[in-house]
Structure 1
Amino acid sequence: MEVKDITKDGVKGGVWVYTSNGEKFWGKKCVVTVGAWTTKLVKMVSGIDLPIQPLETMVCYWKIKEGHEDKYAIGGDFPTFSSHGEPRIFGTPSMEFPGLIKVAVHGGYPCDPDKRPWGPGMALGSLKQWVEERLSSLVDSGEPVVTQLCMYSMTPDKNFVIDFLGREFGKDVVVGGGFSGHGFKMSPVVGRILADLVLIGEAKGVELKHFRIGRFEENPKGNFKDFLHH
């Protein structure tokens, strides 16, 4: 269901969540994890303008040449990798589709999550050239055999947003967003942090200053200097 509003209950406390089909739900706390819709929902609910830009991106899977499937399979010695050239390219061992390896461009085109272009996707020339030069002996570099369109939610400093929404909501609403194309692998620890924030009001032993909403008020680029330094 599409969430249309989140309000604080001034009488009994807690939070009301209203959805597009007319239903409403009450809870003591609320966690907002809505991906590419984070900016829209947070702005509507609180007026806070988060600089989280949705990008439409395309994931590509390439066919491993016959007889070489084991070399690229999960559990073997093939790594998850990132090539920091232009464009930036990443890949993972064969897992989702047996016999196929994921190699794709880390990036995409700005989009409105409610009015996505749904393709035609990204130009593959530089990606095909990269696969041809580095993997062609073991991978068919002609064309990817499977492509999937999805969305990133990018912050200016590529750091996540993990924080209390604040203002009238205090610590009753927690936001987790802006995962910038690399949040999935950290989802277990992010889930634990979000749970701790709503259950006990803090994430003990975790330094969350880099993920504060307020960092963008201090600097529109967020942790940009720290990001470059590290």
Structure 2
Amino acid sequence: MSHWDAIVIGAGVIGTSVAYNLAAMGAKRVLVLERDQIGAGTTSQSSGILRTHYSVIENVVLAQQSWAVFKDFAGHLQDEDASAGLVRCGYLIAAPQGPKLEPLAQSLAAQQAQGIEVHRLSAQEASERLPICRFDDAALIGFEPEAGFADAYLVASSYARAARRLGVKFMEGECVTRLVLTQQTVTGVETTRGVFHAPVVISTQNIWAQELAQWTGIQVPLTPERHKVMALQGPEAYTSAMPVYKDLGSAGMLYCRSYGGQQMLVSEGTAGEALSGPDNTQGDVSMDDVMHVGEQVAERFPSFAEAGLASSWTGVYDVTPDWNPVLGAVPDVPGLVVGFGFSGHGFKLSPVVGRVLAQQALGLPTDVPLTPYALERFRTGQLLHGRYGSGAVA
């Protein structure tokens, strides 16, 4: 059992999606190697927000096609028991007068041109949807009714189950130690258990993608960043019927959503704490951090000035210099296909990213052009810069 049609490194939400799509497209012998457990890495730390709003049009296309999968996830996997845990509550995004206003207007127009249902709301209309929030300073408010949030771990485990049904082999607790190269062409991988041979390897290693530089000598422009997330217990409920909210007017460009009962999940949409290497263990969330975010929340959600901290945790992003992913084949290393650098967007894009990476690995035309996401863009300077700034809505 050492020879395979394709090997996937990593069994997070991207890797499991790739594995399922490979098998669904006809690959008979697919092996997935996961250093920990399925979905136990950065996937388990995801805030789970789903939207198509991006200021990079290529991301809008990926997110739009992915949403079509999420809203019929059981049908997509042909498994009536499969669930994404989808809550279709909508997505509100607002900007005051200032530098974020025109980028927001342009992004909303681009979504509409793509055929996505997006509405411009008055402050009163926004308040009817999110009554615990104040919109008196908003110069522009966009509302995407076909949006919400879901459960990334549940999605990864559902993909894995569907992939297994199609014959995919998963090996957990199996750490890849190097790529096996013959004249700089991939012929397999080596693990502590031995060598597994395949003509193509798909790396979905997230923050561990830096290992590719050690194994191949290619440049991997990637920085692991730790981000802090909090659940605040307020006096008023942030119900699951209320939309996800993105506040371009706050210092941290907050994003927040219902977290059950009276609780709000909230985090900042700015750059986080850069780490020296891959590490997804839980970091500290200090009371200074809580106060910093809590003050911004209270400005926008007045009743949450009295909120308490219910829980907090950290998640780690695999961040590229332009905050957008690297997708596709690596010309300098034939047989290697990569998907890394999602910068916090991986879960939103995972269904279609899994499909196009599988297509690339099998030598098929990709449903979405991958040239804009090529690793070479960091050499040529053709970066995918978002209009809101680093760490925000790319």
Provide TM-score, normalisation by structure 2: 0.48
The reply to whether residue 134 of structure 1 matches residue 277 of structure 2 is: no
Counterparts of residues 156-195 of structure 1 (less than 5 Å): 156-167=321-332, 169-170=333-334, 172-195=335-358
Return the offset for 1:64: 4.3
Distance (whole Å) between structure 1 residues aligned to residue 365 and residue 187 of structure 2: 19
Describe the SS at the equivalent of 1:217: helix
Residues 128, 141 of structure 1: 8 Å contact kept: no
Contact kept in structure 2, 1:162 and 1:208, CA below 8 Å: yes
The structure-2 alpha-carbon separation of the partners of 1:131 and 1:43, relative to structure 1 and needing over 3 Å to count, comes to same
- Return closer, same or farther for 1:62/1:15 CA change in 2, 3 Å cut-off: farther
In 1, Cα distance between equivalents of 2:220 and 2:214? 11
Residue matched to 1:203: 366
Q: 1:114 to 1:209 in 2, by over 3 A?
A: closer
Distance in 2 (CA, whole Å) between partners of 1:173 and 1:160 is: 16
Cα distance change of structure 1 residues 57 and 103 upon mapping to structure 2, 3 Å threshold = same
For the pair 1:41 / 2:41, whether they are aligned, the reply is no
Alignment RMSD (CA, Å): 2.7
Shift of 1:80: 2.1
Aligned length: 211
Contact preservation (8 Å) 1:160, 1:180:
yes
Q: CA deviation at 1:32?
A: 0.3
**Residues 234, 262 of structure 2: 8 Å contact kept:** yes
In structure 2, C-alpha distance between the alignment counterparts of 1:136 and 1:27, rounded to whole Å: 57
Q: Which residue of structure 1 lines up, in the alignment, with residue 176 of structure 2?
A: 3
1:150 counterpart = 2:315: yes
- Is there any run of 5+ residues in structure 2 with no aligned partner, and where? 1-173, 389-393
2:104 maps to none
Partner of 1:109: 273
CA distance in 1 between counterparts of 2:256 and 2:344 reads 13
**Cα distance change of structure 1 residues 115 and 183 upon mapping to structure 2, 3 Å threshold:** closer
Return the TM-score normalized by structure 1.
0.79
Task: Name the SS of the counterpart of 1:124 in structure 2.
Answer: helix
Does the residue aligned with 1:62 lie in a helix, a strand or coil?
strand
Whole-Å Cα distance in 2 between the matches of residues 141 and 30 of structure 1? Answer: 52
Percent identical among aligned pairs is 23
Give secondary structure in 2 for the equivalent of 1:195: helix
**Secondary structure in 2 matching 1:45:** helix
CA distance in 1, matches of 2:344, 2:316: 8
Query: Is residue 16 of structure 1 aligned with residue 188 of structure 2?
Result: yes
Helix, strand or coil for the counterpart of 1:191?
helix
Shift of 1:207: 2.1
> What amino acid is the match of 2:323?
K
Contact conserved, 2:188 with 2:197, CA < 8 A, in 1? yes
Do structure 1's residue 82 and structure 2's residue 255 form an aligned pair? no
Point out the structure with the larger helix share: 2
| Aligned twin of 1:222 | 383
